[in-house]
Structure 1
Amino acid sequence: MKKVAFKTLGCRLNQYETDAIASQFQENDFQLVPFDKEADVYVINSCTVTHQSDHKSRNFISQANRKNPNSVLVVTGCMATNAKNELESRKEINYVVENDRKSSVYSLVEAHFNGEIVHPSKLSDDLFSYGSTDKGFHTRSMIKIQDGCDNFCTFCIIPSVRGRAVSRPIHSILENVKSVIAKGAKEIVLTGVNIGRYEFEQYKFDDVVEQILNLDGDFRLRISSIEPDGFGDKFLSLLNHPKMTPHLHLCLQSGSDTILLRMRRMYGIKRFKEIVNKIRFIRPDFNITTDMIIGFPGETDHDFEATCNIIRELNFGHVHAFKYSIRNGTRAERMIDQVDERIKTKRSELLRRIAEQVKKQYRCDFIGKVQTVLVEKTDGTNAKGYGEHYVPVEFIGSDLKKNHFYKLRIKDISTGDEPVLIGEQIK
């Protein structure tokens, strides 16, 4: 058996696409191995949101070449689109596959081993032809419903590397969901670049959610990252459904209206708080996680303080914070009041400390409560998975199985950088 290794950087959409490609390789008798092991094929699904993402991708390209200089090295993802000429000039890379042709990576590699030289530009550009993810890296089955974005935030390069918003036909989504449920999937995750703006014929995002929730089967539904301006009251009413998980990742980016306006975000702080309050009215312990950009051009101490305050006020379950990074071709690149890197670093350290304190307090509130955990890793006795609130839980039992639900009472929380809930199985 030939061996294939994957490295995925960036968003959940990239994770989904890697899972689907990895499943395709495995279905055709490739053995999946860790990226730091020797393989016949290395696939790097890159990210280009920040300079750090680009740097990581370059490091993994070098790592793959060191492990096996004779391997087939494929670089795809957002950096492959944004820095195509640079990557194609690197001799160690066999193929640079842009985002819109990523689903054809396996067919490209298959042709290579059959002695055919196919240029990536000749591959299919179907954004939704990835297939099942049942042999991928995650227990949760991600379903891609949308790609691209029309928002054009001033800091974001995604519309340039993912293209304009495109929605997948609803019948295709439902067939995909039915298929993974039939194969044993217990958790469905809807993913895309801007899924709240889904629109196909007369169907909107909430119609997709409603139809999935009404499907038969023992599964639960989770929504991946979503913009706060991307849904309405109908979707909020669906949060009460027993199959819907009480977790949303709402991308805030800043606690300052001034900065949100400069970012060209489609909402203000007042609107964001209204959404959070409506959600928490439905379920007070609802887990709301978010993204924050630190040091956006023009960010003052007052703006930064507002961001810290809203983290405390809204009791986020997790904050993914990162320093602003200039992206060529964006409006923010041309803004004159760039923030000094030393200030960004100082603010980043402070914000992360606040976010960690808030996260730990949020998780401590689960002690004594019940969680339904989907096991992702187990040796039969020790298990780890996620509760319905998307909080990690560990527990001990007997004959524990991966991809099974277990009801647990939370007894404690671990100490350390990542607080994990400790559960006890309810017999």
Structure 2
Amino acid sequence: MKKIGFQTLGCRLNQYETDSLVTSFTKAGYDVVPFEEEADAYIINTCTVTNKSDRKSRNTVNKAKNRTENPVVVVTGCYVDSDREALEAAEGITYVVDNDRKSEIFSIVDAHFKGEFIQPTNLVGDRFAYNTAVDGFHTRGMIKIQDGCDNFCTFCIIPHVRGRAVSRPVDKILDNVKKAVAQGFKEVVITGVNISRYNYEGVSFEDLIEQILNLDLDFRLRISSMEPEMIGDKFYKLLNHPKMTPHLHLCLQSGSEKTLLKMRRQYTYQQYKDIVTKVRSTNDNFHITTDLIVGFPGESDEDFNETISAIREIGFGHVHTFPYSRRKNTRADRMIDQIPESVKKDRAEQIRNASEECKRIYGQSLIGQTERVLIEKVIDGMAQGYGQHYVPIQFPWDGSNNEFVNVNILGLSEGDDPHLIGATC
């Protein structure tokens, strides 16, 4: 039995694609082991969204090459599409597989162990040819509905490495959801690169969500990271559906109107606030989380302070903070008013402090309420999982994982990364 180790960097879409590959290897009898252990093959699903992501990708590849003697090393993901030539020229890498052909990695590795070498570029690419992820690393079933992006924000490399936007057929998505629930997943997560722009033969994003919610199956639906655009009145109504979780990760990137314009975002800060107001009209405690970039070229102290004010005005429950990272082939890389790294670092720290303050305020707002928790793991009699508002919760439990349990929220832990503390009802 050959051993396969996986390491995934970056977004939920990468996580979904890795989970699908894990399922293919497991079904074929391979032994999937932790990446830190010795294995016959290592598959690294890389990210290139920032310079830091590039470094992590390179370091992870080097670890795989040196972990055991002559392993099969497969490098895939966005870093491949960003720096393919360097990876193909590097020693110790067996296969370099782009995003379009990532779904073929099982066939490539399986053939290799049977004595056949398949050149990845000779294969036909298909960004949706993934099996339903059953044996992956997550208790929530992720469903890919879309890939690529046409927005070309001035800071973003993703359209260059993931390609133009393409939507998955509706029937394939619905079938994927049915299979995921049949395999025991109790929560389904919709993922993609720019999911709010989903459109397949006239079926919009909100039309698709409506069809998923109307499936006669027992599950709850969570929407992964999305852009605050192409959101219609139907979507706000769908947020009241009993299967829909009251949490959205709406990417803001900046609270400054001037900076948003330079980023070439598809909305203003005022429009973003209007969306949040409509979302929270469905549920006062609706959980909004976001991404913010600090130190974008030309960001003044005033622009930055507007972003700090936005964190408190919106009341985000969590903020992913990214110091601006220059990416080749993007417009922002050619802007002349680049911000010093020391300023970016200081501003990122201020954002994190403001975010932690808001996170604690939001967590405290849930004390005294009941959360329906999906248990992800149980360690020494303590269950860990997420309620419908997507806040981590711990409580005493002598049962198993992957169960829904109603939990009374009693308090909030101390420390920099607080979690809710509860007890079963």
TM-score, normalized by length of structure 1?
0.98
Q: Deviation string for 1:82-118 (max 9, x for gaps)? A: 1000011111111110001000111000011011111
- Runs of 4 or more consecutive aligned structure 1 residues displaced over 3 Å after TM superposition: none
Corresponding residue for 2:409? 410
Corresponding residue for 2:81? 81
Percent identity, aligned pairs only? 56
Deviation at 1:380, TM superposition (A): 7.6
Q: Deviation string for 1:326-378 (max 9, x for gaps)? A: 00000001100000111111111111111111111111111111000001111
For 1:66 and 1:190, the matched residues in 2 are separated by 36
Describe the SS at the equivalent of 2:102: helix
Letter in 2 for 1:66: N
For 2:262 and 2:362, the matched residues in 1 are separated by 31
Kept in 1: contact 2:187–2:222 (CA 8 A): yes
Deviation at 1:379, TM superposition (A): 4.3
Deviation at 1:31, TM superposition (A): 1.4
Whether 1:103 and 2:103 are equivalent positions in the alignment is yes
Kept in 2: contact 1:195–1:230 (CA 8 A): no
Q: Give the 5 Å matches for 1:37-52.
A: 37-52=37-52
Corresponding residue for 1:390? 390
For 1:218 and 1:150, the matched residues in 2 are separated by 35
For 1:123 and 1:416, the matched residues in 2 are separated by 50
Q: Give the 5 Å matches for 1:52-201.
A: 52-201=52-201
Letter in 2 for 1:248: L
Kept in 2: contact 1:69–1:92 (CA 8 A): no
Q: Deviation string for 1:6-34 (max 9, x for gaps)? A: 11111111111111111111111111211
Deviation at 1:230, TM superposition (A): 2.8
Q: Deviation string for 1:222-242 (max 9, x for gaps)? A: 000110013211111100000
Corresponding residue for 1:289? 289
Describe the SS at the equivalent of 1:172: helix
Corresponding residue for 1:305? 305
Deviation at 1:417, TM superposition (A): 2.2
Return 371-380 or 244-253, whichever deviates more.
371-380
Q: Deviation string for 1:201-231 (max 9, x for gaps)? A: 1200011100110111220000001100132
Corresponding residue for 1:423? 422
Describe the SS at the equivalent of 1:322: strand
Letter in 1 for 2:413: S
Q: Deviation string for 1:248-284 (max 9, x for gaps)? A: 0000000000000000000001100000011111101
Corresponding residue for 2:360? 360
Cα RMSD (Å): 0.9
For 2:302 and 2:179, the matched residues in 1 are separated by 51
Deviation at 1:123, TM superposition (A): 2.4
Letter in 2 for 1:403: N
For 2:120 and 2:290, the matched residues in 1 are separated by 36
For 1:178 and 1:294, the matched residues in 2 are separated by 41
Aligned residue pairs, count: 425
Describe the SS at the equivalent of 1:282: coil
TM-score, normalized by length of structure 2?
0.99
Describe the SS at the equivalent of 1:402: coil
Deviation at 1:423, TM superposition (A): 1.2
Structure 1 pair 102/208, CA: closer, same or farther in 2 (3 Å)? same
Whether 1:374 and 2:359 are equivalent positions in the alignment is no
Describe the SS at the equivalent of 2:376: strand
